Structure 1
Amino acid sequence: MTSIAGTSQWEELVTSALLGTDRRTPPDAVLTPRKDPPVALLDAAAVHTVRRRAGLLPAPAAARPEPAPHDARPQLPAPARRRLAQLLADRSAPSHAGGRRGTAPDLTELLPQWLAAANEHGYQAPPTVLPALLDAARARTDLRPQALTFAGPRGLWLARLNPEWKFALRGTSWGSPRTESGGSSVLPDAGDAEAVQRLWEEGLFAERVALLAAVRVRDAGAALALLTATWATERAEDRLMFLDSLRTGLSDADEPFLEQALSDRSRNVRATAAELLSALPHSALARRMAARAASCVSLDRSGDGDAAIGVEAPHECDAGMQRDGVAPSPPSGRGERSWWLGQLVEAAPLSTWPGRLGGRTAQEIVALPVADGWGEELHAAWCRAAVRQRDAEWSRALLGAPGNPPETGPGTSSLAERAKLLATLPDGERAVWVAKFIAAHGLSEAFQLLGVCAVPWGEPLGRSVVDALDIAREAGSYPWSFSGVMGLAERCLDPAEAGRLELLTATPDETEGAAPGAGGYWSEAFQRLVSTLRLRAAMRVELGGVTSPTPPLPETED
């Protein structure tokens, strides 16, 4: 074993190396007349390294891990297996020189789509790709749900053996038994009440979160019973995570528990409970919020006889309001009264307003003028309420006509808020609205709106995007301004559009006023788009999906 004196000398060597031999002279024992101090230091460090390693005693062998669980899902077809290896290998490929992407598809961006398609077919992940798959999911949180589903029970088993993959333990699936070592390779079957109860009482926090979420999907009442039984003994930060799982399958049956949570000692838990209760239009909290909001907003006929909305914001935030989730202190730069008003209106059921405002529809209400400059605050709160309550009628009213300039819309000019409102509409209606918006305003403001549209983009959305890109190309502007939309198009356009886009891959003649070289860049961008669409079609064929009208693309390299 290394002696105490040897340990002390090693520490002196380390100190000299960190500070530099000109500032901290190495120990006398390592200095010789024929060697410079830096060389003597390195020689001494090499000798001490060998001594320290020689003094180590072998550690007892660790217990052999249990065998990996069986995965009964069908295996990938050979072409799809090769494609997956290519997608995972390209994950760490260097970026294109000078930032120019060229014409080759970006395989990294196709990996999420490939995983989603593979999971739809119910394939199992080949064991040889599991390490690379878990590494990819560790680096990109957007991959994790699909990657962990595809990795299955063997992926979770493997993740337990590497601390860098511990994130995978937060997301598991049903079906495999509990291990003899006391851990859980995957969650127990929902019908096995004894195993569920044992894991809930003995499992790690990540396992318990995953268990509660999975039970909630299968049996909302059983999940609530689990949570109720141990709620009083849970830590505040754990209670918050557990409470968040009630968003799935939220119903009036959860109200008694959530009402009790309004008195929780944790402010964050109280706020989350209040948010969940406000999403239940028949809850007692929703009725209380409706009464408070209605006392602040009413019809105002004091002007020239035309109806308008009058607002009298709250003058205080009393204890009852705070218990129901109203935060008393506004953010910097925000007035207290407008802050309280917005929270009350956001939490009140939208069904409050037709009766309160003369029997008008949502569209008629948002079209009414609002007195004393309160319109922006009131409409913003209604937008948040429509998103929280998933109310499509109010979302349509607040979005207004897609052809109207965004700054003059009835609800909000914020594209981020508009995207949230769009997400409450059915897929087809959402796509039509965005297509009309693009036709009226172009692509420059459409990126966030496109992000909430269902994939693949069908008609008329896909055609609207392609037409807008063609208009930008004809105008002679650089494609870099539309790189975000072009990237979305590569992932979201229907692969059947590849044939129609072939005409746009040619380099156009440069027109007067066009940016120098823009035509060549546009040609590259459209070639990459066509290649990507054909590669996506090939992927579908390889996975056994719908046969694509375009031929499979050969293996590509960047």
Structure 2
Amino acid sequence: MNASADWEELVSTALVGTDRRPLPGEGASEVELLGRAAVHTLRMRAGRRPVAPGEPPSLAAPEEQPEVSRAAGDRLARVLGGEQPRLLTEWLETAAGHGYRLSPHLLPELLDHAVRDRSIRPYLGVLAGNRGRWLAGLNPAWGFLLEEVTGVAATDPATDSGPTSQVWEFGTSGDRRVHLGELRAADPARARELLAATWEKEGPDDRAAFLEALTTGLSPEDEPFLEAALDDRRREVRHQASDLLTRLPGSRLALRMAERAARYVTVVGGEIHVDPPVACDSAMERDGIRAKAPRGTGERGWWLQQAVARTPLGVWPRLLGRPPGELVRMKIVDWNREVMAGWVRAAVLQGDPEWALELFAWDPIADLLAALPRDRQEIVAADFVRRHGLDGQLIMVLGGAAAPWGPALATAVLQKIIDVSGTQPWNLGELTKLAGERIDPALHDMAGRLSPEPPIQEVAALLRFRDDMLKELTQ
């Protein structure tokens, strides 16, 4: 009897009882049943039989990437062991960015970790090397690795020849995404043509992911391809295409949205009056407006909010005769929440810094801060930290500030920690961790000299840990 049949026999006997279905052999009681099950479980965990008697598994291909240094590998082991575990992603991202591979003894634990945490999988695609992909072929639970980025070297993507053609034709989904992104940065038209040539053969998940690459170098020349994608079978593809067309103010979708906006929103007597749509027709759905409202949300308000979000922001000053700063502060009769939420979504989607700044003053949220240019982010975030008390909103807003934080934002946050440490030291945990994880680690000496307060020294120690960690990976 093979192992699978033997296990099924044990399960069947356990379900009906040894009295009704005795096990073969003398003394096959309940205790014997449990004993056999325990032995069988250990056998299954210990390994598996070769495909054929005496046939060993194929060998892993030789490695081509350099292995991380002993010091870097030891630090990763410490992180996996519980020392500063929140730095795992930064370690993996940095190591993958330099094209390293992991020490073999660390692979199983990290692959198991990636089964639960999908966010680290793209880094492991590079870091696992050929041995990791060999292991993934032996363990179905690690099979995700076979579709991730491998870090395959390519020739000039602008030529789309040689190894790069092989990557597009035969590479993993991850490698194909990277190749398309590199080609898009070098030659936007060629990248679009490459994608169009294989579009009908691509799977729905890949189509949605590939469309995201068109964000780079987006231009009116992309409109015909994106307009056609509005008819795709997959909703995620249609919405990605709609998002991109919204960023093209002269696109047909943008003009259709502007026409709807003119029907829905007007200025009367210095107030904004709104007449939301009464139905969501097929044309609206094709343009990215979802008909079904979330639970607890009225349909008309839901359709209005989406229409506002997909209307190019440049339409509103022309339509309503006011600059963004005035529009944000005007009274909106009855539908204020929906219109403002639509403008916030539009500012984030379209990356409009003027609208994002005005809306952040009205409702400071992380997504609006992230929509600002990097240098402006730091100024706005530092000012917000100085004016705002320590609460959940402050933590969430800081999450939108791109790392690493420079001196201005670092100083504001560290001063906030000093101020609060004398009144609410129990409330500093998350801010202290965030500061240590986001401040430029090269500023560790500055942080350590700023104050002897324990929370500041904790931040300085974490910055020194990160500084040493990054040096081990970059030197």
TM-score (norm 1): 0.71
Partner of residue 124, structure 1: 100
Query: Is 2:265 the partner of 1:297?
Result: yes
Partner of residue 388, structure 1: 349
Identity, in percent, stands at 37
CA contact 2:289–2:307 (8 Å) conserved in 1:
yes
Query: Is 2:22 the partner of 1:26?
Result: yes
**2:218 partner SS:** coil
Residue 46 of structure 1: how far off its partner (Å): 10
- Residue 129 and residue 246 in structure 1: after superposition, are their counterparts in 2 closer, same or farther (change >3 A)? farther
Partner of residue 469, structure 1: 417
**2:272 partner SS:** strand
**2:214 partner SS:** helix
- Map 1:30-179; keep pairs closer than 5 Å: 30-31=25-26, 35=27, 37-38=29-30, 41=33, 58=53, 60-68=55-63, 70-71=64-65, 81-93=70-82, 106-117=83-94, 122=98, 124-125=100-101, 127-128=103-104, 131=107, 134-135=110-111, 137=114, 139-146=116-123, 148-149=125-126, 163-172=140-149, 175-176=152-153
**2:266 partner SS:** strand
Residue 212 of structure 1: how far off its partner (Å): 3.8
Residue 59 of structure 1: how far off its partner (Å): 5.2
- Map 1:273-292; keep pairs closer than 5 Å: 273-292=241-260
Question: Which amino acid letter does the alignment assign opposite residue 407 of structure 2?
Answer: E
Q: 2: CA distance between counterparts of 1:117 and 1:324? A: 39
CA contact 2:271–2:332 (8 Å) conserved in 1:
yes
Residue 43 of structure 1: how far off its partner (Å): 8.1
Partner of residue 339, structure 2: 378
Q: 1: CA distance between counterparts of 2:461 and 2:31? A: 57
**1:216 partner SS:** helix
Partner of residue 487, structure 1: 433
Partner of residue 310, structure 2: 347
Which residue of 305, 309, 317 corresponds with 2:272?
309
Query: Is 2:385 the partner of 1:457?
Result: no
Question: Which amino acid letter does the alignment assign opposite residue 145 of structure 2?
Answer: A
Residue 385 of structure 1: how far off its partner (Å): 0.7
Residue 58 of structure 1: how far off its partner (Å): 0.6
CA contact 1:290–1:348 (8 Å) conserved in 2:
yes
Residue 261 of structure 1: how far off its partner (Å): 1.6
- Residue 450 and residue 39 in structure 1: after superposition, are their counterparts in 2 closer, same or farther (change >3 A)? closer
Q: 2: CA distance between counterparts of 1:421 and 1:381? A: 13
Q: 2: CA distance between counterparts of 1:323 and 1:544? A: 48
- Residue 158 and residue 10 in structure 1: after superposition, are their counterparts in 2 closer, same or farther (change >3 A)? closer
Partner of residue 337, structure 1: 300
- Residue 441 and residue 117 in structure 1: after superposition, are their counterparts in 2 closer, same or farther (change >3 A)? same
Partner of residue 215, structure 2: 247
Deviates more, 1:137-146 or 1:324-333: 137-146
Residue 193 of structure 1: how far off its partner (Å): 2.9
Partner of residue 358, structure 2: 397
- Residue 544 and residue 294 in structure 1: after superposition, are their counterparts in 2 closer, same or farther (change >3 A)? same
CA contact 1:13–1:45 (8 Å) conserved in 2:
yes
Partner of residue 445, structure 2: 496
- Residue 254 and residue 88 in structure 1: after superposition, are their counterparts in 2 closer, same or farther (change >3 A)? farther
TM-score (norm 2): 0.82
CA contact 2:417–2:456 (8 Å) conserved in 1:
no
CA contact 2:60–2:131 (8 Å) conserved in 1:
no
Q: 2: CA distance between counterparts of 1:310 and 1:48? A: 72
CA contact 1:297–1:310 (8 Å) conserved in 2:
yes
> What stretches of structure 1 of length at least 5 have no aligned partner?
94-105, 177-186, 302-306, 401-408, 506-524, 546-558
> Which of structures 1 and 2 has the bigger CA Rg?
1
Deviates more, 1:342-351 or 1:195-204: 195-204
Query: Is 2:467 the partner of 1:532?
Result: no
Residue 142 of structure 1: how far off its partner (Å): 3.9
Residue 171 of structure 1: how far off its partner (Å): 3.4
Q: Could you say what the CA RMSD is over the residues aligned between the two structures, in angstroms?
A: 3.8
- Residue 438 and residue 11 in structure 1: after superposition, are their counterparts in 2 closer, same or farther (change >3 A)? closer
Q: 2: CA distance between counterparts of 1:425 and 1:365? A: 19
Identify, as 1 or 2, the structure richer in helix. 2
CA contact 1:134–1:165 (8 Å) conserved in 2:
no
Work out the number of aligned pairs and report it.
Answer: 462
Residue 352 of structure 1: how far off its partner (Å): 0.8
CA contact 1:443–1:465 (8 Å) conserved in 2:
no
Partner of residue 45, structure 2: none
